[in-house]
Amino acid sequence: MQIPMSIVINRADSGDGRTRQFCDRNGIAVLAEIPDMLAVAQAYSRGELIAEISPTYRRGIERLLASLMQEVAR
């Protein structure tokens, strides 16, 4: 179909890396990797945005948004 794509890997550090390897082999851009962290899961369960629980997460989400905007512009 030749549709451009990119992905965000959730719980990136809980697997064996096969998702990242697949993307690397197939030229699929990984825009962000969200770690498997209790604080993130707790925020989700309370209905909070990940960007609201930590400045570090906020910066990561801002970088993800910038990457998405670049991908869409292509």
Report pLDDT for 34. Answer: 83
* Residue 13 CB burial class (10 angstroms; 0-12, 13-18, ≥19): exposed
**Spatial contact of 23 and 29, defined as CB atoms under 8 Å apart:** yes
C-alpha distance from residue 52 to each of 20, 33, 39, 46, 72 (Å): 27, 17, 11, 12, 25
pLDDT digit string (tens) for the chain, length 74 residues: 777 788 999 888 888 889 999 999 999 989 888 888 888 888 889 999 888 888 888 898 898 899 888 888 87
Question: pTM for this one?
Answer: 0.72
DSSP 47: T
Domain ranges of the chain: 6-73
